[in-house]
């Protein structure tokens, strides 16, 4: 789902992603079905923990019945938070498109409803996967595993991403871009500029061998 774009939006390339630095933490991906990631699950859990810690709701975690009720309430609240966050994204203009005149065009009501349905369905799937992992049908906790999967996906994609050409005319992946730049290095191994061009992509934000080595 992290690579499946949301149907009904044109593109998001020219819209600033204000949640970019948090994407890895919330295991989300801009413009895809996992736009919300584990955000609704984490938010619902925090709300219930605060309510129980402040004694606004009475929960006896030593009682299996109370624990089961608390877990069920967390899942239900996660679904409501998915709907709430999806609506917030739509109202906040996350999927507005900028036209040639520089004006932001809001999707139609039908498109917004379709986008919301996709976000909610994907969110429910993530909630169910998290519940499966909590029942020991996997390794570790669901939230940690989702974050780890997102980090691994980002590393693999930045390393061998086959998209071409990008801003510098090379492949997106660091290894492929390095292979495209190795020619001048082989012809003149002592050239510092050739090595710099092959290993470092000029601070453009594109993955390079320097970033791969530090990772």
Average pLDDT, the chain: 85
Domain boundaries, the chain: 20-140, 174-214
Give the DSSP letter string of 49-93: HHHHHTTSS---TTSHHHHHHHHHHHHHHHHHHHHHHHHHHHHTT
In tens, the pLDDT along 5-55 reads 888 887 544 456 777 777 888 888 888 898 998 999 999 999 999 999 898
In tens, the pLDDT along 85-131 reads 999 999 988 888 777 777 778 888 999 999 999 999 999 999 998 88
What mean pLDDT is predicted for residues 201-211? 82
pTM across the whole model? 0.75
Residues 207 and 174: beta-carbon distance below 8 Å = yes
Whether omega before 103 lies within 30 degrees of 0, making that bond cis, reads no
**pLDDT of res. 140:** 66
* 3-state SS class at 167: coil
């Amino acid at each position: 789902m992290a690579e499946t774009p949301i149907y009904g939006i044109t593109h998001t390339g020219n819209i600033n992603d204000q949640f970019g630095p948090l994407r890895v933490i919330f295991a989300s991906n801009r413009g895809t079905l996992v736009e919300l990631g584990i955000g609704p699950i984490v938010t619902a859990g925090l709300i219930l923990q605060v309510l129980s810690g402040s004694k606004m709701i009475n929960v006896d975690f030593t009682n299996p019945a109370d624990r089961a009720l608390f877990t069920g309430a967390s899942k239900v609240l996660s679904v409501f938070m998915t709907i709430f966050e999806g609506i917030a994204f739509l109202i906040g203009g996350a999927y507005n498109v900028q036209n040639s005149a520089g004006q932001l065009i809001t999707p139609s009501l039908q498109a917004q409803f379709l986008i919301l349905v996709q976000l909610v369905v994907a969110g429910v799937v993530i909630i169910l996967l998290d519940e499966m992992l909590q029942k020991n049908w996997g390794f570790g906790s669901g939230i940690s595993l989702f974050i780890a999967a997102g980090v691994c996906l980002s590393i693999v994609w930045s390393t061998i991403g086959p998209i071409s050409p990008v801003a510098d005319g090379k492949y997106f992946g660091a290894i492929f871009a390095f292979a495209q730049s190795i020619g001048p290095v082989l012809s003149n191994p002592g050239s510092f500029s050739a090595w710099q061009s092959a290993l470092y992509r000029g601070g453009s934000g594109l993955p390079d061998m320097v970033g791969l080595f530090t990772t």
